[in-house]
């Protein structure tokens, strides 16, 4: 009982600390610029990199919400839903998945663009350097819920696999790695209000069953790619 109590107290302290930190960030943001929030939608293709030789392109859609701690540094939530596919001599699979992650992104402008007079900078810098300021790299952590329907072709041995091959419906941890760019096409005095987003995301799984199989000869965990084209909109922009 004492152990459970200590864990609960520790958990409450962590939650309180996070809330205080978020409140501090929000307060400082309101003093810096008027539109720290943005939302976006995207659509694109997927590829699983697992135990199958042939990796047909699947598809997925995504939605994200970003909280900008500075014009070029953000923390956000990304949600995805789609499918992954694979084929080989021994069998095939399809995974209808749902995933979500928390991520941070740093944009190139963090290292050279003006931040104090950001709105004026974004209006004036319409050339290559201005657009490259919105190129970014990011990392995060999240979960993927897999709904796999896999099969072994007739005539292939099942001894290479454990007893859990085939249908798989469980959750695994993923680490998303992002590279991409936001290309603004509408500006305001506080910065971009609309942009086109081009993103590539590599999702590294901690498990080996995104394809429903865990062969004895497998040398790495499963991971999948998601590349997308989308649109991003700033929220609560002051007129």
For the chain, which domains are there? 39-235 (2.40.160.20)
Tokens of 23: 């409140």
Whether pTM exceeds 0.85: no
Rounded distance between C-alpha atoms, residue 188 and residue 37, angstroms: 15
Tokens of 141: 């952590």
Rounded distance between C-alpha atoms, residue 157 and residue 173, angstroms: 30
Residue corresponding to tokens 């976006």 = 40
Q: What is the pLDDT along the chain (239 residues), one digit of tens a residue?
A: 444 444 444 544 544 544 444 434 433 333 223 368 899 999 999 998 876 777 789 999 999 999 988 878 899 999 999 999 887 777 778 889 999 999 999 998 888 766 666 656 666 666 677 778 889 999 999 999 988 887 777 665 554 555 555 556 678 899 999 999 998 887 776 677 888 999 999 999 887 777 777 665 656 678 899 999 999 998 876 65
Per-residue CA distances from 120 to 6, 22, 23, 134, 167 (Å): 52, 28, 28, 15, 55
């Amino acid at each position: 009982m004492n152990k459970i109590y200590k864990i609960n107290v520790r958990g409450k302290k962590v939650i309180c600390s996070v809330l205080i930190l978020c409140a501090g960030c929000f307060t400082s943001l309101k003093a810096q610029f008027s539109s720290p929030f943005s939302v976006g939608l995207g659509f694109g293709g997927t590829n699983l990199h697992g135990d199958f030789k042939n990796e047909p392109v699947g598809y997925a859609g995504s939605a994200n919400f970003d909280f900008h701690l500075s014009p070029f540094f953000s923390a956000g939530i990304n949600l995805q839903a789609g499918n992954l596919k694979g084929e080989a001599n021994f069998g095939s699979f399809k995974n209808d998945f749902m995933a979500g992650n928390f991520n941070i992104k740093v944009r190139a402008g963090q290292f050279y663009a003006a931040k104090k007079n950001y709105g004026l900078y974004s209006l004036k810098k319409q050339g290559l350097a201005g657009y490259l300021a919105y190129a970014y790299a990011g990392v995060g952590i999240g979960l993927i819920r897999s709904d796999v329907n896999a099969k072994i072709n007739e005539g292939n041995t099942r001894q290479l696999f454990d007893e859990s091959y085939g249908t798989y419906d469980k959750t695994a941890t993923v680490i998303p790695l992002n590279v991409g760019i936001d290309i603004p096409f509408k500006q305001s005095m506080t910065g971009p209000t609309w942009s086109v987003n081009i993103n590539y995301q590599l999702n590294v799984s901690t498990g080996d069953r995104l394809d429903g199989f865990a062969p004895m000869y497998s040398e790495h965990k499963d991971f999948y790619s998601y590349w997308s084209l989308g649109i991003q909109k700033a929220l609560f922009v002051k007129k």
